[in-house]
């Protein structure tokens, strides 16, 4: 399928999603410039951390309408110089981790997008909040639920809004999965299976260091499996059982799990079986309901996605997920509107409570209630 710009996708969404599903269909907040409330201003965003995903986000800005890359925060001078030249970033909008707090005096930065290792999310969210900047924090929100609560409180006290980088809430195939599940198009969903993983080989990768990552694939790709189970069902899980997979390389996985499987039990009786792994490549979502099935494979990574239901194949445009996410958030902030609950810090906290329970269940072999 030809890759379309985010704007072209929005202008053609009526071909794929009905208007009656506005609550879960393509976000209506992403409107064209014809929207009378849009003044042409763009939200100025600074990327905090310039690793691999920051480069993907930087590409996303090229297709964005409501935001632009205005600043960077990095501890590596060579990266600062390279990004300055490539993206024409002025010196006054370039910070390191020591002088980051001075960003409070910079009126040309509206929002800080935190793309740092997991262990740094809490500190830099709180520092950005104290500087009076809105925040997007990459998932997982923090190392544990207690840290999430501190981050939420800091943002409330500072009067800034906090979003978590849940890009799939802006992606049409996943929005359709959400619609099919929550609207019970094929009846009550009884079973969900979600798996995401890839093979990793680099022993120096920060994601394999527990102090920086908080855990293995669950703290990286596993959160997508958890998220999809929650937003497709529209329910919150009651309990979980879990199992660590075999340690296939004792040196590589000396600190974090190589893989983990878990089973979530929901109020309706739905069971969600999920797997996240660093041992193999897998990218799949499947749901079975009383009167049919629906699935994506690939389904919860970066795409391009392929989907089908009991009625046939699904066809949606391939969009720039990062541009859609950042534009969706930026437009609301430009209009001084609250962000939707499903991408806020409170949503990140819900995920971390479940992740905490998954690790406890895997470590103890017991069913853990989620509170």
Written as six digits, the tokens of 263 are 């089973």
Dihedral sign computed on CA atoms, order 121, 125, 128, 133:
positive
3 state DSSP class of 195: strand
Q: Is 371 exposed, middle or buried (0-12, 13-18, 19+ CB in 10 A)?
A: exposed
Side by side, the strands of the sheet bearing 162-164 are: 94-95, 67-73, 43-48, 111-114, 134-137, 162-164
- Helix intervals (H) in 159-302: 172-182, 210-213, 222-233
| Known catalytic residue at 139 | yes
Residues 107, 100: contact at Cβ < 8 Å?
no
Euclidean distance between CA atoms 158 and 11, whole angstroms = 37
3 state DSSP class of 213: helix
Q: How far is CA 273 from the centre of its chain?
A: 20
3 state DSSP class of 214: coil
Q: Is 367 exposed, middle or buried (0-12, 13-18, 19+ CB in 10 A)?
A: middle
Q: How far is CA 3 from CA 18, 23, 166, 305, 321, in A?
A: 21, 25, 21, 11, 11
- The single-letter DSSP state of residue 177 is H
Q: How far is CA 223 from CA 244, 261, 299, 318, in A?
A: 16, 12, 14, 22
| Known catalytic residue at 224 | yes
Query: Which listed residue (139, 178, 331, 353) is catalytic?
Result: 139
Q: Which residues are catalytic?
A: 139, 224
């Amino acid at each position: 399928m030809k890759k379309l710009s985010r704007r072209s996708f929005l202008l053609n969404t009526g071909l794929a999603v009905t208007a009656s599903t506005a609550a879960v269909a393509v976000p209506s907040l992403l409107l064209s410039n014809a929207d009378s409330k849009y003044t042409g201003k763009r939200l100025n965003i600074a990327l905090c951390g310039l690793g691999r995903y920051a480069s993907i986000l930087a590409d996303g800005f090229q297709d964005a309408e409501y935001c632009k890359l205005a600043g960077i925060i990095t501890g590596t001078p060579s990266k600062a110089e390279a990004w300055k030249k490539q993206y024409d970033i002025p010196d006054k909008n370039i910070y390191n981790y020591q002088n980051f707090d001075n960003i409070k005096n910079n009126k040309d930065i509206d929002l800080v997008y935190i793309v740092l290792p997991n262990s740094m999310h809490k500190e830099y969210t709180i520092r950005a909040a104290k500087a009076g900047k809105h925040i997007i924090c990459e998932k997982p929100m923090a190392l544990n639920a207690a840290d999430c609560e501190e981050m939420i409180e800091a943002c409330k006290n500072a009067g800034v809004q906090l979003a978590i980088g849940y890009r799939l809430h802006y992606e049409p195939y996943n929005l359709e999965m959400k619609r099919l599940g929550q609207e019970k198009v094929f009846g009550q969903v009884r079973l969900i299976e979600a798996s995401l993983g890839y093979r990793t080989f680099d022993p120096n990768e920060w994601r394999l260091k527990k102090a920086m990552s908080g855990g293995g694939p669950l703290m990286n790709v596993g959160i997508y499996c958890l998220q999809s189970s929650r937003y497709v069902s529209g329910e919150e899980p009651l309990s979980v059982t879990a199992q660590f997979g075999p340690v296939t390389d004792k040196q590589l996985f000396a600190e974090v799990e190589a893989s983990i499987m878990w089973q979530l039990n929901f109020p309706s009786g739905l069971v969600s079986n999920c797997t996240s792994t660093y041992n193999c490549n897998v990218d799949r979502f499947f749901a079975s309901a009383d009167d049919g099935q629906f699935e994506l494979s690939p389904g919860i990574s970066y795409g391009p996605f392929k989907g089908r239901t009991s009625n046939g194949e699904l066809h949606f445009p391939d969009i720039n997920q990062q541009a859609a996410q950042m534009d969706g958030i930026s437009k609301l902030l430009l209009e001084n509107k609250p962000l939707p609950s499903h991408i806020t810090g409170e949503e990140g906290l819900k995920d971390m409570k479940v992740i905490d329970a998954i690790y406890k269940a895997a470590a103890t072999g017991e069913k853990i209630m989620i509170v």
